[in-house]
Chain A
């Protein structure tokens, strides 16, 4: 198992280099150079050229890329913002805890809601509650989360005055944004859990378990659930990425100082290093989470664990 984890960690190096190259390339397509973006088009040509030289922008693309990567690896430095002239890393670290807390909160909330309702729905297939769950889930899954957020903001903050509508000072500020993010994804998880549960219940080994006289409760909790949750765990890994992304939009709705508001401001100001740094930062985090999920997956599913212990990584 540790060999497999090592292998996956090593494989992350080329992938992350690839991610940096991808994002760096996309953002180099931005028209204009840092000099004219910061000083404006009315500035003197010499000043613009001097500033470009200061940012190392007068060098060829690949040299700039390798310098950038070198700075990250050796100095843990993501460069300097065009707009604020502050180190990008500082701005990110100041904002990141809010986004992380929001993403983690909403992940937990959607997992608890989605999985439990999904199991409930599958166990009572075709009951009234099952139909209600499915319809409600589908409506939430089809809803733009920011719209849901705005509607809840009107109801709980403006009309009822129960919860604050903006900011990130206390945990209370996180309730509405976390709900906004988690309800649509809980709906997705509910549908997935239900489908996967129903599929599992039809399997031969469930029939075997029943034939051997296991109680209904034991069959569901011990035999079916563990197998049915495999695809759900995979989806949750992707779901974390989605909630990081969704956090960007939820932060805008609730005016929270997080990575999302940082990025949208940076994009408006054409602050390339800031956009680059924030994107890369979140992408690295996301790929670490995906790796963690894959490892978790191996622990839940003995079949996969066995496969990796035998070496060879098969094509899925």
Chain B
């Protein structure tokens, strides 16, 4: 019964989502980008990323090298394709981690209220006082620059916003009658939170997470760009751009392609997020 209902609800959301042309465009874009990351090795072997051909240094785009080559004669197309793995992975992992931490803290604060809420909210107030990128920079400064620390740094900066959002959504949901009913027959707090409150507060949370993937990808690229994230020779997009800065005059295409890929993937998540906002909004149901 419940499974059947869930199915119809999902197909209902999908039906509304499909009606929105830009949202569908975003979805297609997203599928292409995720496909690129998943099948990077099929599209172009990883060896192409590191193979240095002295004769092919700083070649413009051509049939042999679709996006041209960098200062070591490495194929930029291969590097951009394989770089998609970093950006997507960082975007997804940081958003999910920030979501889980945010859900646990935010739901506890909203559901229990009182002292728990006060302690969590006051600590988050402190975090909110530091602009996200500063927080990330401080974490990177302390822990050092590598992939793991970059992920920690970006997650930390994203948690306070999530806690706030989830807390406020849970606050409204926790007052509903069905939560009261569940309490009355002695359901445990953890079960009420995870079984009744969070699923019903899911709409805004899903939308926020989708959009935050795009933000996280941009911050990761930004940090790598100023040399505080993933270090060259890894073909991460921000790191590629950071490197390309030295060849503004001679090889502007080195700058163009990684940037376009960051733009497109971030755009894809934003479009999907926009589409989901409309599709999940009960007020807009027809």
Q: Are A264 and B227 in contact, with the CB atoms below 8 A? A: yes
Kindly state whether residue A171 has any CB partner on chain B within 8 Å: no
Residues of B with C-beta under 8 A to A315: 113, 117, 171
Residues of B with C-beta under 8 A to A31: 144
Distance to closest chain B CB from A293 (angstroms): 13
Kindly state whether residue B44 has any CB partner on chain A within 8 Å: no
Q: Of residues 234 to 288 in A, which have CB atoms within 8 Å of B's CB atoms? A: 241-242, 244-246, 248-249, 252-253, 260, 263-264, 266-268, 270, 272, 275, 279, 282-283, 286-287
Given contacts A151-B255, A154-B248, contact A279 B267 (CB under 8 A): no
Q: Are A286 and B130 in contact, with the CB atoms below 8 A? A: yes
Q: Give CA–CA (A69, B11) in the complex, Å.
A: 57
Given contacts A29-B143, A142-B266, A248-B133, contact A23 B138 (CB under 8 A): yes
Q: Are A158 and B142 in contact, with the CB atoms below 8 A? A: no
How many residue pairs, one in A and one in B, have C-beta atoms under 8 Å apart? 148
Q: Give CA–CA (A135, B26) in the complex, Å.
A: 12
Tell which of B130, B140, B263 touches A267, judged by Cβ atoms closer than 8 Å. Answer: B140
Kindly state whether residue B45 has any CB partner on chain A within 8 Å: no
Q: Of residues 127 to 163 in A, which have CB atoms within 8 Å of B's CB atoms? A: 135, 138-139, 141-147, 150-151, 153-154, 158
Which residue of B is nearest A264, CB measured?
Answer: B226
Kindly state whether residue A6 has any CB partner on chain B within 8 Å: no
Given contacts A150-B248, A275-B138, contact A19 B129 (CB under 8 A): yes
Q: Are A146 and B228 in contact, with the CB atoms below 8 A? A: no
Q: Of residues 142 to 194 in B, which have CB atoms within 8 Å of A's CB atoms? A: 142-144, 168, 171
Chain A: how many interface residues by the 8 Å CB criterion?
54
Residues of A with C-beta under 8 A to B249: 158
Q: Are A27 and B142 in contact, with the CB atoms below 8 A? A: yes
Kindly state whether residue A26 has any CB partner on chain B within 8 Å: yes
Kindly state whether residue B259 has any CB partner on chain A within 8 Å: yes
Which residue of A is nearest B241, CB measured?
Answer: A147
Given contacts A154-B248, A275-B141, contact A138 B270 (CB under 8 A): yes
Q: Give CA–CA (A266, B138) in the complex, Å.
A: 11
Q: Specify which of A28, A145, A267 lies most central, judged by the most chain B CB atoms within 10 Å of its CB.
A: A267
Q: Are B133 and A245 in contact, with the CB atoms below 8 A? A: yes
Q: Give CA–CA (A316, B271) in the complex, Å.
A: 29
Q: Are A18 and B226 in contact, with the CB atoms below 8 A? A: no
Q: Are B225 and A30 in contact, with the CB atoms below 8 A? A: no
Given contacts A245-B133, A283-B134, contact A150 B141 (CB under 8 A): no
Distance to closest chain B CB from A72 (angstroms): 16
Given contacts A142-B266, A142-B267, A144-B221, contact A26 B248 (CB under 8 A): no
Kindly state whether residue B59 has any CB partner on chain A within 8 Å: no
Chain B: how many interface residues by the 8 Å CB criterion?
49
Residues of B with C-beta under 8 A to A264: 137, 226-228
Residues of A with C-beta under 8 A to B221: 144, 146-147
Given contacts A150-B248, A158-B249, A316-B168, contact A15 B226 (CB under 8 A): no
Kindly state whether residue B123 has any CB partner on chain A within 8 Å: yes
Given contacts A144-B262, A275-B138, contact A15 B225 (CB under 8 A): no
Residues of A with C-beta under 8 A to B214: 142
Residues of B with C-beta under 8 A to A142: 214, 218, 263-264, 266-267, 270
Kindly state whether residue B222 has any CB partner on chain A within 8 Å: yes
- Chain B interface secondary structure, helix, strand, loop or mixed? helix
Given contacts A158-B249, A268-B227, contact A290 B129 (CB under 8 A): yes
Residues of A with C-beta under 8 A to B142: 26-30
Tell which of A143, A268, A287 touches B263, judged by Cβ atoms closer than 8 Å. Answer: A143
Q: Give CA–CA (A264, B242) in the complex, Å.
A: 14
Q: Are A286 and B141 in contact, with the CB atoms below 8 A? A: no
B-side interface residues toward A, CB under 8 Å? 22, 113, 117, 122-123, 125-134, 137-144, 168, 171, 214, 218, 221-222, 225-228, 238, 241, 245, 248-249, 252, 255, 259, 262-264, 266-267, 270-271, 274
A-side interface residues toward B, CB under 8 Å? 14-16, 18-19, 22-23, 26-31, 135, 138-139, 141-147, 150-151, 153-154, 158, 241-242, 244-246, 248-249, 252-253, 260, 263-264, 266-268, 270, 272, 275, 279, 282-283, 286-287, 290, 315-316
A-B contact pairs, 19 of them (CB 8 A): A18-B122, A139-B263, A142-B264, A143-B262, A144-B218, A144-B221, A144-B262, A146-B226, A147-B259, A150-B241, A154-B252, A158-B249, A242-B132, A248-B226, A249-B133, A249-B225, A279-B134, A279-B137, A290-B128
